[in-house]
Structure 1
Amino acid sequence: MADSFVGSGPLVTVYVPCRNYGRFLCQAVESVQRQLYANWEMIIFDEASDDDTLEIAESLRRADPRRIRLVHNVQPRGLQWIANRALETANGKYLVRLDADDWLDESALLVMVAKLESDDKLGLVYGNYYYTDADGQILGVERGYDINAEEQSGQLPPHGACTMVRARALKAVGGYSEDINAQDGWELWFKLRRRVKAANLDTPVFYYRQHSTSLSRNSQRLLAARSKILSRLCDTLEGSYKPSCLAVIGARESYPDFPGVPYHEVDGQSLLERAILSATGATRVTDTVVTSDSERVLTFAEQLERDGRVPPHRRQLRQTVAVESAVPLREILSEAAAGHRGVYDSAPDCLAFLSIHAFNRRAEHVDKALSVLRLTECDSVVSVHQEREPVFTHGQQGLRLLNPGRLDELSYVRERLYRFNGAILALWHEVIGMGSLLGENIAYIEMSGKDSIQLKADAVSAFSL
């Protein structure tokens, strides 16, 4: 065990959530006990574990009762509940979450405390981390972006674990939302990023274990939690003025290899019906228009409304008739915005273009895109699917691998590649007149592989950016 040579300084509270990770818990706790910075306390939360977690945690507490406390939950309460209880009972000036299956580098507390103490305006600090396999063998190093120089959109929050937070700053924003049981790092980041300064350290501070039961492998759960967090945070921005948003559903009737597109059914609903429902069901959409160069398509949309299959919406015959498969999206949006002005005497504040081919897109995805558009203040938001297979480009000596971490099933931040899935493009109205339809600052929402599926002929590009 390393000798702690810093015995004074502000107290740090390390809290350790644990559910059925008894096999890892000792290593996590011992990594704190080996810290070069000695002024810490620990709270272990046993989340109604079915394994030997409680017995191991109790033995660790008995061995170091002055610094270690144990909370046993008879039923799982969730990560955010634990975070709030830790915040409520912590004696420390600073707070750190250490997951029971991870462990700290021996200098972690020392370097993070030193950084926070160097600037009273800093509210949180975080470092890089090692990826390890289930047995603790190092697989690679995650090196994050410099948030003050390289990444300022706010869409790359620090890892929720092993980020050191000034407890007072976290209390000032009301802690965590306990009805959301994942992605606490996202909530923390968006709550604090405009209130306090943040800093990242270009050194690894913890070991992030990859194994089959890791929460990080449940991507659907993480994306759902992220949507809820973003929507709630956007609600806090609401004032007397509510930005208007026009949902634009572009519906061409046929393509050379795909006739009758809007009428094609999936699970008893036509593609056009599903698109209209995803727009009209979004709480941040204030107006929906189906635009097409086919009167038959618009008649079909009108019939869907008459039959009560979709809510009321507007329909607009597009003046620009495409002679090829690609339709200029800028013209579609411009005509739709002009139609909105004709009805409401004003242009919409923002627009969301929804392709009818993305049949698994839902209203929550549309709301998420519009929330991100407001929270990040970017020019546009695109829906994407993260590429999880190795991707190559041409290099000097043949193909060059763009994301080598994928060979080890790792998703390094700097190697992540995103593919536009065609489901949603949200943008501020003023961006339509810019040189690029996406503007200069592009944000994104990530959708799962299933939700990103599009129904169209492989050779057809439905719309041209």
Structure 2
Amino acid sequence: MKTSIESPLVSVYMTNHNYGKYIAKSIDSVLNQTFSDYELIIIDDGSTDNSKEVIGKYENTSKVTTIYQENKGLNVTNNIAIKLSKGKYIMRLDADDYLDENALMIMSNGLNNSKCGLIFSDYYLVDEFGSVISLVRRHDFKNDVTLYDQPAHGACTMIRKEFLLEADCYSEEFQCQDGFELWLKFIKKFEVSNINLPLFYYRQHSQNLTKKQDRVLSTRHRIIKKHVSHKDVSKKNHICIMPVRGMDLLEPIALKKLGDKTIIDIAIETILASENISNIVVSSPDIRIINYLKKQSYEIIVDYRPKELAQLNTHIEGTIEYIVRNYKEKINVPDTITIYHIEYPLRKTMYVDKLINTLYFFEVDSVIGVMPESSLIYKHEGNGLVPINGRDHTLTLEREFLYRRTPGLITVDYSFFRKQKKIIGGKVGHIVVDEEATINVASDLGWRLSELLYKNKKMG
């Protein structure tokens, strides 16, 4: 292990696992900085490619410390780097990304001239060969942002080390999403800031695109849950309402079987598995559904809803008021109301719990399930179609990101609803769901796809 300088202003550390193809460019981007008051710590985390050979060329370079270890994982390695670091400020650089030559100077000046705990920048998205795909421009966090639910990148964010230690560094219970977890710690304790200049290059390639979405979303759910544990969210009174129409169909979708279970059974069992939901109310004007549920042994409220509240042109707010009024002795005064549509049988229980936990963590009025919309969306302005997002494919503005709402996955703070009579409004938060959560069995294609995926899940 080659040791570095004694008291640098900035510590940059790099964790590497099998990125021998890219790491030299990353290292050189630090060594070529216009700013000189830094150290570079390179930790190879059990690579089996040519990484050690590449890193070895820098072992005798001034300012560089090199460490080789058996694979310990990202968060453990992050904490090792923090313990070794000597700087006042610290930044992680992923071994496949690289910095603009002025990054350390600009970002350290940003921390020098403020009281914020961390600072981050815009960035270039590049392909595996280093060609720029687009410039990603973040919000102006100083002037435009009041809801901090879009975190900075875990890497290439400069952090005040004193505050990082106060926040207990990285939680080693999580195997990914270290930046998200750290962000949640920081926004509750310290100021955060950003610089609207692109100061690093984020490489998009096959190795980092293959991270499973399931793993990311489930880890974020666990992180949010951890960070609201002190609020005793699960002890509050959370009501889930399942509005089911069905009266105009020869065979209600609710009673159709997907595999060995009806659609309504799948939905009820999904919500019963929730850690947060206190009471479930299934409300339907279809007597067939009512009679079916009354024969089951579920501990739920089965409501024979007046038909005038179930018409296509009626809003769900009327049903909510009717249920809270009619069943007040059974459900008392709710803390939250969650609306859950049964036509999406591949949804996971965690999404319902995450809606509620997100509402409490970010202290918003309502939370909806969404999918990021990456396709170009057009509108007609009289003279033809024009894109409403991505007008310039080389510039991606965070303020123009679009999200497609997933129907029937909404939680609203009941005190907000009681005042405003709206389920979506006020300060609106969001959770991202996977594609399976958007598949609606009301269409023939959606049914066939759900059958296939449901069968595959049952098999293994």
**Given the two structures, how large is their TM-score scaled by the length of structure 2?**
0.89
Q: Deviations over 1:179-219 (max 9, x none)?
A: 22222221111111121111111111101111111258643
Residues 343, 318 of structure 1: alpha-carbon distance in 2 compared, 3 angstrom cutoff = same
Equivalent residue for 1:30, pick from 23, 28, 31: 28
Equivalent residue for 2:291, pick from 278, 299, 319: 299
Residue in 1 aligned with 2:112? 117
Query: Which range moves more in the overlay, 107-116 or 168-177?
Result: 168-177
Q: Give the C-alpha shift of residue 411 in structure 1.
A: 6.8
Q: Deviations over 1:80-131 (max 9, x none)?
A: 2222222222211111111111100111111111111112x21000111111
* Kept in 1: contact 2:89–2:158 (CA 8 A): yes
Residues 212, 190 of structure 1: alpha-carbon distance in 2 compared, 3 angstrom cutoff = same
* Kept in 1: contact 2:6–2:86 (CA 8 A): no
Q: Does 1:418 align with 2:403?
A: yes
Residue in 2 aligned with 1:252? 245
Residues 411, 118 of structure 1: alpha-carbon distance in 2 compared, 3 angstrom cutoff = closer
Q: Secondary structure at the match of 2:189?
A: coil
Q: Secondary structure at the match of 1:41?
A: strand
Q: Does 1:351 align with 2:326?
A: no
* Kept in 2: contact 1:358–1:455 (CA 8 A): yes
Q: Which runs of 5+ in 1 are unaligned?
A: 1-6, 306-310, 459-465
CA–CA distance in structure 1, aligned partners of residues 209 and 168 of structure 2: 25
* Kept in 1: contact 2:111–2:119 (CA 8 A): yes
Query: Which range moves more in the overlay, 135-144 or 333-342?
Result: 333-342
CA–CA distance in structure 2, aligned partners of residues 166 and 321 of structure 1: 59
Q: Does 1:368 align with 2:361?
A: no
Residue identity in the other structure for 2:368:
V
Q: Which runs of 5+ in 2 are unaligned?
A: 445-460
Q: Does 1:128 align with 2:122?
A: yes
CA–CA distance in structure 2, aligned partners of residues 335 and 325 of structure 1: 17
Residue in 1 aligned with 2:417? 432
Residue identity in the other structure for 2:413:
W
Residue in 1 aligned with 2:388? 402
Residues 43, 330 of structure 1: alpha-carbon distance in 2 compared, 3 angstrom cutoff = same
Residue identity in the other structure for 1:68:
V
Equivalent residue for 1:319, pick from 298, 306, 324: 306
* Kept in 2: contact 1:281–1:363 (CA 8 A): yes
Residue identity in the other structure for 1:35:
Q
Q: Secondary structure at the match of 1:23?
A: coil
* Kept in 1: contact 2:116–2:193 (CA 8 A): yes
Q: Give the C-alpha shift of residue 327 in structure 1.
A: 4.2
Residues 342, 295 of structure 1: alpha-carbon distance in 2 compared, 3 angstrom cutoff = farther
* Kept in 1: contact 2:121–2:197 (CA 8 A): yes
* Kept in 2: contact 1:358–1:422 (CA 8 A): no
Residue identity in the other structure for 1:43:
I
Q: Give the C-alpha shift of residue 141 in structure 1.
A: 0.9
Q: Give the C-alpha shift of residue 46 in structure 1.
A: 1.8
**Given the two structures, how large is their TM-score scaled by the length of structure 1?**
0.88
CA–CA distance in structure 2, aligned partners of residues 216 and 379 of structure 1: 35
Q: Does 1:165 align with 2:162?
A: no
Aligned residues: 441
* Kept in 1: contact 2:246–2:286 (CA 8 A): yes
Residue in 1 aligned with 2:323? 336
CA–CA distance in structure 2, aligned partners of residues 324 and 287 of structure 1: 25
Residue in 1 aligned with 2:371? 385
Query: Which range moves more in the overlay, 348-357 or 82-91?
Result: 82-91
Residue in 2 aligned with 1:98? 93
Q: Secondary structure at the match of 1:353?
A: strand
Residue in 1 aligned with 2:450? none
CA–CA distance in structure 2, aligned partners of residues 158 and 396 of structure 1: 39
Q: Deviations over 1:270-326 (max 9, x none)?
A: 111111122111111122221222333133223332xxxxx5222222235356434
Q: Does 1:79 align with 2:113?
A: no
Q: Secondary structure at the match of 1:213?
A: helix
CA–CA distance in structure 2, aligned partners of residues 222 and 314 of structure 1: 34
Q: Deviations over 1:406-453 (max 9, x none)?
A: 968x97533321111114110011232415431221111111112221
* Kept in 2: contact 1:271–1:356 (CA 8 A): yes
Residue identity in the other structure for 1:428:
D
* Kept in 2: contact 1:334–1:432 (CA 8 A): no
CA–CA distance in structure 1, aligned partners of residues 311 and 108 of structure 2: 61
Residue in 2 aligned with 1:220? 214
* Kept in 2: contact 1:405–1:412 (CA 8 A): no
* Kept in 2: contact 1:20–1:53 (CA 8 A): yes
CA–CA distance in structure 2, aligned partners of residues 153 and 175 of structure 1: 23
Q: Give the C-alpha shift of residue 149 in structure 1.
A: 2.5
Residue in 2 aligned with 1:183? 177
Equivalent residue for 2:131, pick from 113, 133, 137: 137
* Kept in 2: contact 1:423–1:452 (CA 8 A): no
Residues 449, 405 of structure 1: alpha-carbon distance in 2 compared, 3 angstrom cutoff = farther
Residues 234, 226 of structure 1: alpha-carbon distance in 2 compared, 3 angstrom cutoff = same
Q: Give the C-alpha shift of residue 337 in structure 1.
A: 2.3
Q: Does 1:229 align with 2:223?
A: yes
CA–CA distance in structure 2, aligned partners of residues 44 and 74 of structure 1: 14
* Kept in 2: contact 1:352–1:425 (CA 8 A): yes
CA RMSD across the alignment: 2.6
Query: Which range moves more in the overlay, 98-107 or 289-298?
Result: 289-298
Residues 124, 381 of structure 1: alpha-carbon distance in 2 compared, 3 angstrom cutoff = same
Q: Deviations over 1:4-24 (max 9, x none)?
A: xxx999521111121211011
* Kept in 2: contact 1:187–1:229 (CA 8 A): yes
Q: 1:144-163 counterparts in 2 under 5 A?
A: 144-163=138-157
Residue in 1 aligned with 2:447? none
Equivalent residue for 1:63, pick from 60, 76, 83: 60
* Kept in 1: contact 2:241–2:337 (CA 8 A): yes
Q: Percent same amino acid at aligned positions? A: 27
Q: Secondary structure at the match of 1:31?
A: helix
Q: Does 1:242 align with 2:238?
A: no
